[in-house]
Structure 1
Amino acid sequence: MTTAPVDLRAVLDGFTQAWSPRIVAYVNDYDIRLARFAGEHVWHAHNETDEFFLVLDGTIHIGLRDVGGERTVTLPKGSAFVVPRGMFHRPSSPDGAVVLLVEPTGTLSVGDEHDEVPDHVDATTGHPVI
């Protein structure tokens, strides 16, 4: 664990790939991840954990599937949202966004269950920058 501040702007300047989160900090057993969103991710679910989204720049949409069908929540800059464990969801951002995510360390970016992963989505547990 580092005891130095992390410059999030420098982290963002260090990568351009969407859907390829960077781990900027660890808090207990959780990763704090910084990601660029562009286009659509994949429908997926995390069976054992919730997923926290905080939009730092841009706007994202999160499609949700539950017993009532499908719906979409829209998160502009400065908004936060938690997708409950086990819920199928698909993040997207037509115009691009920067998002801070909080997930247990080792959580796969495409969840435990998912549709076919397209080439533009990095199926990863995150890329450490610290």
Structure 2
Amino acid sequence: MKSINIVAKHAEFSKQWHPHQIAVVDNMQVLLAKLKDEFVWHAHDNEDELFQVIKGTLYMQFRDRTEVVKEGEIIVVPKGVEHNPMTKNGEVVHVLLFEKLTTAHTGKVQDEKTQTEYPKI
């Protein structure tokens, strides 16, 4: 049991759209990621997903609207809801994600950005 410095952990990697696991809480994982530009439309049939913006501004696209999530804010995407996170103007946004260990990165969608393993840092 040691404290985890989120800013320092974000500094350990540069790859975008590739989450890194920093902790496990019961059957949930805590991930850090750097996001830039647009991801891929997808949904998670059986898992909710929480995004906390550590640095920058995240635009969470839903089919009927876009929610703006600023530094220090969170957004929870309920299971089954199609979404597509994105950033604007080339900004690299740092996020913390909290989700079940069973959550597939892009749900049932396979894309060049899809990751199947998250490095532990």
| Alignment TM-score, normalising by the size of structure 2 | 0.90
**Equivalences for residues 1-130 of structure 1 within 5 A:** 3-65=1-63, 70-94=64-88, 95-111=91-107, 113-114=108-109, 117=111, 119=112, 121-129=113-121
Q: Quick check: 30-39 or 7-16, which moved more?
A: 7-16
- For the residues of structure 2 that align with 1:10 and 1:125, how far apart are their CA atoms? 21
Deviation at 1:123, TM superposition (A): 1.9
Q: 1:123 to 1:50 in 2, by over 3 A?
A: same
Q: Report the Cα distance in structure 1 between the residues aligned to 2:15 and 2:37, rounded to whole angstroms.
A: 12
Cα RMSD after superposing both structures: 1.4
Where 1:40 maps in the other structure, the secondary structure is coil
Identity score, percent: 31
Runs ≥4 in structure 1, deviation > 3 angstroms?
none
Matched residue type, 2:96: L
Task: State the shift of 1:11 in Å.
Answer: 1.7
Query: Deviation of residue 4 (structure 1)?
Result: 2.2
Q: Provide the aligned length of Structure 1 versus Structure 2.
A: 119
Q: Indicate the SS of the match to 1:9.
A: helix
Q: 2:51 is matched by which residue type in structure 1? A: F
- The structural deviation recorded for 1:125 is 4.3
More strand, by proportion: 1
Distance 2:104 2:8 in 1: 24
Question: 1-side partners of 2:4 and 2:101: how far apart?
Answer: 18
Unaligned runs of 5+ in 1: none
Shift of 1:79: 1.0
Give the match's secondary structure for 1:11. Answer: helix
Residue type matched to 1:127 in 2? P
Superposed displacement of residue 14, structure 1: 1.3
Q: Which runs of 5+ in 2 are unaligned?
A: none
